[in-house]
Amino acid sequence: MTELAVLAPMLLALLTALAVAVAGARRADAVNAGGSCLTAAAALVLCAVAAARHDDPLRGSWYALDAAGGAFLAVIAVVGLLSALASPSHLRGTTGSFFGTRAPRRSYYVALQCFWAVLLAIPLVDNLAVGWILVEATTAFSALLVASGGRRRALEAGWKYLVLTTLGLTVALLGILVLYVGLGSGGSLARLDFTAIHASHGPSREQAVLALVLILGGLATKIGWAPVHNWLPDAHSEAPPPVSALLSAALLPTVMLVAWRTQLALAPAAGGAGAAVFAGFGLASLAVAVPFLWRALPLKRLLAYSSLEHMGILALGIGFANPLATAGVIIHVAGHALAKSLGFYAAIPLGRDGAGSDAPVSLNSTSPAGATAVGVSLASLSGMPPAPLFVSELLILAGGFAAGHTAVAIAATLLLALGFLGLAHALIEATAGDRAPRGSRNRRTERRLGALTAAVVVAQLGLLVAAFALVGSPLLADLMGSVA
């Protein structure tokens, strides 16, 4: 019964995909919306159970409903629901589709629900091999969605994403095989449970370090860490905005959770090698992202490079392995998801009005709600106080200094300051520039964007309260322990 409850969100998403496939074209939107609400509700119930039992997590033969999994599952549930509900607005403005002309809307919803279903399962899996299979499964559905626009650039972006991430996951699979051999005799895949790896004395230090480097290096392509991030700007900018939100706000941090669990599981055998790899990817990602944040880029491409920056921040927080940094990572994942999703949803009317291929300038002259949404998104992503990301970045940097990683924390502080200036400039241009984009105001879109922006602001205020409550609480210790 417990396993069925844990599987419920994924099963509901798959059932929604099936229902959309057999429903008529006129009912596709309603079936998608209704099924998505049920899926998100089931996932949030699991999150509540995980929070209530943070000191005694539920575990089964393949799953672990712990505090860390619950936190990431909540993010996936909320972003997935918002993306499903925002998709009809995007589809109304599209003229072509990779899925053909017979049932492009239904095909899009089926791929979206299948993608979401796999994402919902990843934080609950307690086995490295099964986690790898699920991460690989996300590639097929998300590549279709990236290319769903049918344009040449979208097809190229989808193909690049498919090839590069599959290549990276092949490297990660090699690392899993090295680890499997190093764990000793026995043929059961249960040896690759994160808890079993942590308790095992099988792999030597050399085998553990080699496996860890291969696994983290392979997963880095899926997470979008520099220098193996080449697919990320094209995929995020060419995918439909609701899909871009799922990619950036849900997929990237969820794969990072798998990497995080792997690093902690192998920590007894590999020592500090994993933390060093995380810190290296973190600094590299920040350094590569900053120059692009200073350029005048279309909104979705700017948000893509912001994803590179924020994945770097999260990598540093994980690498610092300090209670303050861990609290910052959890708050940062949620705050980034809210701000990034809002930015991508605000790009839907921009693309429809023909302004999506240009840097956003003076949006207030044609869309006050759009300007507000973009402004809140960019202000939050820049780490402007009092945004939750400002607090989470302070916690991560404070954790770095407390853990003795002074040089890395100083370098990260300087890079974050430069990134802040770049996004702050983009914010000013978007809301107070002297050149208006094409298009006219749509009252229905204005109301929806205004309501979504208000909801995000309220949620961010809640995250601020959660950030101060989390530091020093027993839940934080359980979060740190449950990741492994």
**Which residue has better confidence, 3 or 244?**
244
Structure confidence at residue 357 (pLDDT): 60
**Domain membership of residue 405 as a residue range:** 272-484
In-domain check, residue 303: yes
What pLDDT digit, counting tens, does each position of 96-118 carry? 565 555 567 888 999 999 999 99
Residue 271 has pLDDT above 90, yes or no: no
pLDDT at 1 over 80: no
The model's pTM: 0.93
Alpha carbon 9 to its chain's center = 18
**For residue 444, what pLDDT is reported?**
76
Q: How many domains does the structure of the chain reveal?
A: 1
What's the distance, CA 229 to chain centroid? 14
- Give me the chain's average pLDDT, please: 88
Q: Is the pLDDT of residue 433 over 90?
A: no
Give a yes or no: residue 235 inside a domain: no
Instruction: Write out pLDDT tens, residues 284-302.
Output: 999 999 999 999 889 999 9
Q: What is the pLDDT of residue 351?
A: 64
Mean pLDDT computed over 417-440? 77
- pLDDT tens by residue, 317-351: 999 988 899 999 999 999 999 999 999 999 888 76
Q: What is the pLDDT of residue 382?
A: 94
- Grade residue 185 by pLDDT with cuts at 50, 70 and 90: low
237 domain-assigned? no
Q: Is residue 99 part of a domain?
A: no
64 occurs within a structural domain: no
For residue 380, tell me if it sits in a domain: yes
Residue 305 pLDDT exceeds 70: yes
Check whether 249 has a pLDDT greater than 70: yes
